[in-house]
Structure 1
């Protein structure tokens, strides 16, 4: 038996904790890209660019004629730039909600914005990082955020555009991490929209409680560190939100059973900017993934936010 903080962990329990830890910190089977912008009547081109450590990322560029405004988009963990195929097995076993970001891209395009959207490392059609290592936005994913900026600056048609960010969940975590690591990249970014930024320590506690393993948090933290080198207590946007210097709009499903409202409220409270907004979805639906569809189905608030700071 393993022992942590005087709590004995059986071999069977340890095997479960190890599997959960590896599931959080590696991506072995990326979800498929089932749609393209063409499915929403949008003209686009496939582009690729490399992060600073050489990982090649797949992206779509959706041009908007006569516009000098650009929204750079990414996605949550286990998703890709298309969204999430929760209407199909085996992904429906994780959560049976299909998420389609094409609706977001279409709304942005119709509002006069160019769109650049990319798959994170280990996701979609991007290359995998060594050992498929994945930090839920708190690892090397910040390099992917910076890579998108480097690509934009390398393109004559994009380099002078006004930039905003649509970065949900792990994508928002990675953006805040990048703002902390390399704030100079974000000096001229005008606005951020982020659905459901998440603290992995809090989500893990809920997962362990559901499995009857709450007493083994310390052992689980050790497994996270062994699997990835991450300190689970540092896998939270709370550490990076104080470094966000741009107008920020957060959204959260208040009934999401995978987290607690205080987590996002704390992230919001830590944002040091005067221009910030937090919208709660309060319809009693406990499924987290409905929050990722919200801006595609109700784009008016998102568009108003970007227009307010990018078209003034």
Structure 2
């Protein structure tokens, strides 16, 4: 029983229904869908701001979707008490002449589940990031557009794994810059979360039976050095759910043009996700420099 409960908390898909809409922000947009290399249909919004620069936004995992985070339905203990709408930064970017592709990763929001019908913290979701980039690259009117990646938490992990794939992100020459917000590895999260060992083992056993491998054996740190585009890493230094040395290792492993942005905000991991929408220029100015 405990094993299923812990595994569900970590990898159960479709825990967050869509709660927001671009129309609430007066944004011109299309509802879009596209397929991944393994046949999964992903759905999202293409926010229209211009055709020469596009931001592909990849959200964090499990309790999120393309719209962001909503506390409704998240139980008694909520990591953040108010909505975190990713459409805030989308509106800012659209006003600056960017288009923004906001899509649901597999097993989230309105996208379909994958062949592995569980959240994998990045290895399977890497195919989704590649599919999103390819969708923009092939969409009429957007061929030749410069692409920036706004990759948040699991989205950052998935993007990094995509660089380690054969015919992966390195082959996409239209991708010019990334903002990686709080990349997080599974084991470091469990360490920081302080989960008792017996619960961790029970949950890990169930998760391994579901996805076919131990999540703790996978690390995007092995692929960081393959990232070739200018990368800004954003991290709240007061985040209690991570290991800051791991984030530093991520940054140190980058061999491209890079910068580190340390935020000094509320002692809550979700505070950085909220910060992106409250202070979008401080983060997205990286794209202005490189796109």
Contact in 1 for aligned 2:3/2:205 (Cα 8 Å): no
Residue 248, structure 1, aligned to residue 231, structure 2: yes
* Structure 1 residues 32-71: Cα deviation after superposition (integer angstroms, max 9, x where no partner): 2111122112111101111111111111111124x41111
The answer for unaligned runs of 5 or more in structure 2 is none
- Counterpart pick for 2:248 among 252, 255, 265: 265
Contact 2:116–2:211 (CA under 8 A) maintained in structure 1:
no
Indicate the residue corresponding to 2:188 in structure 1: 202
In 1, the alpha carbon distance for the partners of 2:276 and 2:38 equals: 32
- Matches of residues 5-154 of structure 1 in structure 2 within 5 Å? 15-27=1-13, 29-65=14-50, 67-78=51-62, 79-86=64-71, 88-90=72-74, 93-97=77-81, 98-130=83-115, 132-138=117-123, 140-154=124-138
State the partner residue of 2:282.
301
* SS of residue in 1 equivalent to 2:152: coil
Deviation at 1:279, TM superposition (A): 1.4
Q: CA RMSD in A?
A: 2.0
Judge which range, 300-309 or 179-188, deviates more.
179-188
Partner of 1:155: 139
Contact 1:201 1:235 in 2 (8 A): no
CA distance in 1 between counterparts of 2:36 and 2:75 reads 28
Decide whether aligned partners of structure 1 residues 271 and 151 sit closer, same or farther in structure 2, where only a CA change above 3 A counts.
same
Displacement after TM superposition at 1:21 (Å): 2.7
Q: 1:218 to 1:82 in 2, by over 3 A?
A: closer
Q: Write the distance in 2 (CA, Å) between the matches of 1:267 and 1:305.
A: 18
CA positional deviation for 1:246: 0.8
Cα offset for 1:234? 3.2
For each residue in 1:166-202, what CA deviation from the matched residue of structure 2 results, as whole angstroms up to 9, or x when unmatched?
1101011111111110144333311101211101111
TM-score, normalised relative to structure 2: 0.91
Q: Which has the larger radius of gyration?
A: 1
Closer, same or farther: CA 225–298 of 1 in aligned 2, 3 Å? same
Q: Name 1:11's counterpart in structure 2.
A: none
Give the aligned length.
287
Q: Which residue of 2 aligns with 1:4?
A: none
SS in 1 for 2:142: coil
Cα deviation digits, residues 96-155 of structure 1 (max 9, x gap): 3421101110111112111111100110111122462221112x1111111112212321
Name the TM-score, length of structure 1 as normaliser.
0.85
CA contact (8 A) 2:42 2:111 kept: yes
Aligned to 2:260: 278
Q: Which runs of 5+ in 1 are unaligned?
A: 1-14
- Rounded to whole Å, the distance in 1 between the matches of 2:279 and 2:145 is 26
Q: 8 Å contact 2:170–2:228 — kept in the other structure?
A: no
Partner Cα separation in structure 2 for residue 175 and residue 101 of structure 1: 18
Distance 2:52 2:76 in 1: 39
Aligned twin of 1:164: 148
Structure 2 CA distance for aligned equivalents of residues 92 and 248 of structure 1: 37
